């Protein structure tokens, strides 16, 4: 899978339970090393029962970008490209017959003039329906081929020819109502206050969104998808309106329950890449039972919302550290030198004492 291979760097693989998404009960694979993430997501999903999560995903449209510089008449070039749009789209689609066979292909071309310190540049956006692929290889191939044709049309020089990870046309959304009878009025008020803090302060918003990505990345990795691309798209989308904001929103319903919603780009696929070559990724996809990339995106968005609710509930009530450190106690015991049955024994003593520290673990091991 990679060059200069010297081995592998495995992550723990666990399952988040209690999820019900669009009426379907699921055990969701998480590849992650951070204690408490899976437990938190499972607890949030349990509190959402019996209704669970409702999720949707838009068409799998990805954006390819072609940068043109040194264009002699950039305004005229803009119109020339528009006049030859059909020809350019046909040329792009012809490069990927299997994608077209399954209903995908190039859909639109858009041009925009940019003023930069190095002069005017023409930015081309190629919109491609990638179906059940993430789309990077297909889009990059189309961009590279179209670049030559665009140079002939405009008289300019093509520089960058690559996919954009800000997939604003490939959006996943999920929502959930947590009943006040299940979570209590104090939790509802705490979550609402925590959300508004994140909406007002970029420093909090950054950590708010990191918590969302705890769950999202874990599922993206487990299914063999590109978590770096998903991360880049999510954080760029958070700032898409000109201010970095939370990817989730919370409000109180008319009946006093808590409504949570999430919206973010979700460029994931089921064909190509590690999804089809990594044996554990293939098993994870099979366990999820998904038949399309859009269905996978809906699941991942629901996980992100659950993860965020769990974090805000803990933060605004007893604090994040208690549950996190209890689950981290075994790691602390191992770092102190414990092995075998001593790991659980020392972890249990530290939890009972509410003193989960490496120096205390060493003291208990010595005893």
For the annotated catalytic residues, the residue numbers are 34, 210, 226, 324
CA nearest to 127, candidates 83, 64, 68: 64
- Spatial separation of the C-alpha atoms in residues 129 and 170, rounded to whole Å: 9
Tokens of 274: 């590690």
Distance of CA 324 to the CA centre of its chain: 22
As beta bridge partners, residue 267 has: none
Phi-psi region at 184: left, alpha or beta (left = phi > 0; alpha = psi -120 to 50) = left
As beta bridge partners, residue 164 has: 63
Residues contacting 29, CB < 8 A, separation 6+: 13, 14, 15, 219, 222, 223, 284, 287, 288
- Spatial separation of the C-alpha atoms in residues 352 and 234, rounded to whole Å: 39
* Contact (Cβ atoms closer than 8 angstroms) between residue 303 and residue 27: no
Between the CA of residue 254 and those of 100, 130, 179, 194, what are the distances in Å? 46, 40, 12, 20
């Amino acid at each position: 899978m990679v060059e200069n291979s010297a081995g592998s760097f495995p992550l723990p693989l666990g399952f988040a339970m209690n999820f019900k998404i669009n009426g379907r009960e699921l055990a969701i694979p998480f590849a992650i090393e951070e204690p408490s993430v899976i437990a938190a997501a499972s607890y949030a999903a349990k509190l959402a029962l019996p209704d669970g999560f409702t999720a949707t995903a838009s068409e799998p449209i990805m954006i390819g970008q072609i940068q043109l510089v040194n264009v002699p008449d950039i305004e005229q070039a803009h119109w020339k490209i528009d006049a030859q749009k059909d020809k350019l789209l046909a040329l792009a689609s012809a490069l990927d017959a299997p994608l077209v066979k399954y209903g995908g292909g190039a859909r639109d071309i858009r041009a925009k003039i940019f003023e930069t310190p190095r002069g005017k540049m023409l930015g081309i956006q190629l919109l491609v329906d990638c179906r059940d692929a993430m789309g990077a290889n297909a889009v990059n191939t189309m961009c590279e081929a179209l670049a030559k044709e665009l140079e002939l049309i405009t008289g300019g020089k093509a520089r960058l020819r690559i996919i954009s990870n800000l997939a604003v046309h490939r959006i996943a959304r999920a929502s959930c109502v947590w009943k006040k009878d299940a979570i209590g009025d104090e939790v509802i008020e705490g979550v609402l206050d925590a959300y508004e803090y994140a909406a007002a302060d970029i420093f909090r918003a950054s950590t708010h969104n990191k918590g969302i990505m705890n769950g999202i990345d874990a599922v993206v990795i487990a299914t063999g998808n590109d978590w770096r691309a998903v991360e880049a798209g999510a954080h760029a989308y958070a700032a898409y309106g000109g201010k970095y904001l939370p990817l989730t929103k919370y409000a109180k319903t008319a009946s006093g329950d808590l409504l949570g919603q999430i919206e973010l780009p979700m460029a994931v696929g089921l064909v190509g890449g590690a999804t089809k070559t990594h044996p554990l990724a293939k098993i994870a996809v099979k366990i999820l039972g998904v038949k399309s990339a859009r269905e996978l995106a809906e699941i991942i968005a629901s996980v992100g919302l659950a993860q965020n609710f769990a974090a805000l509930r803990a933060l605004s009530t007893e604090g994040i550290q208690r549950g996190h450190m209890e689950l981290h106690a075994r790691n602390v015991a191992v770092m102190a030198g414990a092995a075998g049955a001593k790991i659980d024994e020392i972890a249990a003593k530290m939890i009972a004492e509410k003193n989960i520290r490496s120096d205390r673990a060493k003291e208990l091991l010595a005893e």
